[in-house]
Amino acid sequence: MAAEEHGPTAGEYIIHHLTHFQNHKPASVVDFTVFNLDSIFWSVLLGIVTCGLLWAAARKATSGVPGRFQAAVEILVDMVDSQAKGIVHNEKSRRLVAPLALTVFVWIIVLNTMDLLPVDFIPWIWGYVYGASGHETEHAFMRVVPTADLSITMGLSVSVLLICLVYNVKIKGLGGWAHELVTAPFGTSKNPIFALLLGVVNLAMQLVEFVAKTVSHGMRLFGNMYAGELLFLLIALLGGAFTLSVGGFVLAGLQIFAGTVWAIFHILIIVLQAFVFMMLTLVYVGQAHDSH
């Protein structure tokens, strides 16, 4: 007798939705040759959409009474510009930093908003396309929330780190920054031996600070969005247990209620996490301008 077909278990369902579409399977826990193609695709696509929206707002800007879209963008620009002025005091640097912060803020909001789509909608479409091209549908993996991918959020935080290093050298000079690395935060000494010891300790502290800021910057965004995505999957499982019974209808009603409440609350998380990432970007770039 042929084995009866059955749907995936709850664990298989979650694992499938949390698996990336990759160029190949990782050979180890850390494999830098693996690329999460789904995260890259959605990040680039939504990045183009973000730049397109901001470009459209700038192109249609008028000195008269602004429309709703222009007014919303102007509010965002004023908000980011005021935050940049309060943190980055170098006017020349703000010409790059303020637009960068605005782009990061809007881009991350758009990336986070993908979490509000029904969890099975795009994966179902991708599964149909993947299967129609002759592949096995059980291997049709597709994750649509790039900020729930650690490689994306860490890529963003490392990019911020590189910008900070560039401004450290640009503002303080290579020699000035090198001197700061070995003299802050504990200072130095006239005694050569103590000066050497303090230099090693200061350098170690500076390296720890750079690493800690970068890791926490990316992990904070990833952790919140990954938890949100996982909770949406758990809520979706309530609908998967639907049957033509009183209990089945109770589960369906609970799924609709829980999904609605969490989606409304998640809107706050989406905006808040984008704002926190933007503010930390400004703070770290501002710290690169300060001398110790």
Tens digit of each residue's pLDDT (9 = 90 or more) over 86-107: 999 999 999 999 999 999 999 9
What is d(CA 83, CA 277) in angstroms, rounded to the nearest whole number? 13
Torsion of CA 32, 38, 40, 42, to 10 degrees: -160
The answer to whether residue 26 sits within a structural domain is no
Helix (H) or strand (E) holding 180: helix 150-183
Instruction: Note if 224 is an active site residue.
Output: yes
Report whether pLDDT(291) > 80: no
What is the secondary structure of 27-53 as a DSSP string? SSSS-TT--BHHHHHHHHHHHHHHHHH
pLDDT, tens digit (0-9, with 9 covering 90-100), for 202-247: 999 999 999 999 999 999 999 999 999 999 999 998 877 666 677 7
| Active-site option among 93, 112, 202, 224 | 224
What is the secondary structure of 133-159 as a DSSP string? TTS-GGG------GGGSHHHHHHHHHH
- Least Cα distance to 180 among 209, 217, 157 occurs for 209
End-to-end CA distance of the chain: 77
- Least Cα distance to 55 among 47, 63, 64, 43 occurs for 47
Tell me if 229 sits within 8 A of 115, measured CB to CB.
yes
The answer to whether residue 30 sits within a structural domain is no
| Tokens standing for residue 177 | 């920054």
Tell me if 187 sits within 8 A of 165, measured CB to CB.
no
What is d(CA 282, CA 101) in angstroms, rounded to the nearest whole number? 7
Task: Tell me what pLDDT residue 130 has.
Answer: 94
What is d(CA 203, CA 258) in angstroms, rounded to the nearest whole number? 50
Number of domains the chain is built from: 1
**Could you tell me the pTM of the whole model?**
0.92
Which residue segment(s) compose the domain that 63 sits in?
13-20+35-289
- Least Cα distance to 112 among 11, 25, 193, 229 occurs for 229
Instruction: Note if 220 is an active site residue.
Output: yes
What is d(CA 292, CA 284) in angstroms, rounded to the nearest whole number? 14
Instruction: Note if 291 is an active site residue.
Output: no
- Least Cα distance to 235 among 129, 119, 107 occurs for 119
Task: Tell me what pLDDT residue 192 has.
Answer: 92
Tell me if 19 sits within 8 A of 149, measured CB to CB.
no
CA torsion sign for 113, 117, 123, 126 is negative
What is d(CA 236, CA 248) in angstroms, rounded to the nearest whole number? 13
The answer to whether residue 278 sits within a structural domain is yes
The answer to whether residue 202 sits within a structural domain is yes
Q: Phi then psi for 20, rounded to 5 degrees?
A: -85, 155
pLDDT, tens digit (0-9, with 9 covering 90-100), for 53-85: 889 988 888 878 888 888 999 999 999 999 999
| Active-site option among 90, 151, 159, 220 | 220
Report whether pLDDT(127) > 70: yes
Task: Tell me what pLDDT residue 5 has.
Answer: 52
| Active-site option among 157, 216, 245, 291 | 216
The answer to whether residue 4 sits within a structural domain is no
Higher pLDDT, 249 or 203: 203
What is d(CA 87, CA 253) in angstroms, rounded to the nearest whole number? 48
The answer to whether residue 102 sits within a structural domain is yes
pLDDT, tens digit (0-9, with 9 covering 90-100), for 164-215: 999 999 999 999 999 999 999 999 999 999 999 999 999 999 999 999 999 9
CB-based contacts of 172, cutoff 8 Å, min separation 6: 180, 291
Task: Tell me what pLDDT residue 4 has.
Answer: 44
